[in-house]
Amino acid sequence: MRSATIPTGMWKLLIACVLTAAATAGAAPATSVDDCNAALPDCVVVGKWNFSLALGAGVRTNPLVHGQDLPLLVVPQFSYYGKRFYIDNLDAGFTALENGKNTLSLIASPGYDRIFFYRSDLQNIFVNIAAATVGTNPNPVPFPSRSRPITYLAGPEWTFNDHGIIGQLDVLREVTGHNHGEEVRTAVQFPVRISADAFSATIGLTWQSAAIVNYYYGAPRVYESGSALRPFLKLGYTRPLGRGWRFEVITQYEHLASAIADSPIVAHNYVVTSFLGFVNAF
């Protein structure tokens, strides 16, 4: 487990499979016109930017020693969908194959954990643009200070939607040359709809290779760890209010594996994210 990695050959094979699927699909659009229309909330207009703004109160805890929690007051989100290419906040993707239930894409997504080290990380800006004071994180143990540049991970993504149950599996590799690590993100969301109100429960699991774990939480000869598993549970509630507004409550608990929690710079083995507020899509 300590040296577990995704073989490079397997990762490249997955990429090749996705590209082959795209080539097989040819020039046809990713989605047939028949299974998507304006009445379906799961559908978006091709070629149009989408923006939303959430106003409310929330927090994301910071597991680092003396790490300050991140207040969630204003949450902007944006996306753009072309025929195949899309931008989803800081993620970008190319949809190779899509039908009513399954989607196969190649995606690029930023490394997540940097948000705990840099208040100015774009992933924090797009979660909260309100002014907030976040101090430095003085380390209680001798731990070499070093920068952790922005990383991007890329790889295939498979998602499915069957009877409202939504699943996601990403097999990613760091491609910006900072740690060469791998990450697998997976989650399944179960919806419960009562009239207009919608509840959802999501369970997920993130696996990070030792290279990524040590990039953020390790230091040579001070703390070197193996790969890490990070399961999470998320509960959500949404109530449409009309005129593009909706009321939303989200809470997520993510457990950090000992490979992360045992690091001298980590104080808590969990991350809790909660938000309650109003969202407007325009």
Site track for another protein across 21-50, x = CB under 8 A: --------xxx-x--xxx-x-xxxxxxx--
Are 165 and 185 contacting, i.e. CB atoms less than 8 angstroms apart? no
C-alpha closest to that of 77 among 55, 99, 53 = 53
Q: Is the dihedral of CA 134, 249, 243, 34 positive or negative?
A: positive
Q: Which of residues 201-220 bind another protein (CB under 8 A)?
A: 202, 204, 206
Give the H or E element holding residue 97: strand 91-98
| Minimum CB distance to another protein smaller for 84 or for 218 | 84
Shortest Å, Cβ 180 to another protein? 22
Task: Determine if residue 262 is left, alpha or beta; phi over 0 gives left, psi from -120 to 50 gives alpha, anything else beta.
Answer: alpha
Q: What are phi and psi of 181, to 5 degrees?
A: -85, 175
In whole angstroms, what is the distance from residue 109 CA to residue 103 CA?
17
Total number of residues that touch another protein (CB under 8 A): 51
Provide Rg for the chain, Cα atoms. 20
Residue 70 CB, nearest approach to another protein (Å): 11
Shortest approach of another protein to residue 209 CB, angstroms?
Answer: 17
Asked whether 91 and 79 are in contact (CB, 8 A), the reply is no
Based on the shown chain and the rule CB under 8 A, indicate whether residue 168 belongs to the binding site for another protein.
yes
From the list 10-18, 75-83, 136-144, 258-266, the region that binds another protein by CB under 8 A is: 75-83
Contact between 240 and another protein per CB under 8 A: no
| 273 in contact with another protein (CB under 8 A) | yes
Element (H, E) at 189: strand 182-194
Which residues of the shown chain bind another protein in the complex (CB under 8 A)?
29-31, 33, 36-38, 40, 42-48, 54, 75, 77, 79, 81, 83, 86, 88-89, 91, 93, 95, 98, 103, 105, 127, 159-161, 166-168, 170, 185-189, 202, 204, 206, 234, 250, 252, 273, 275
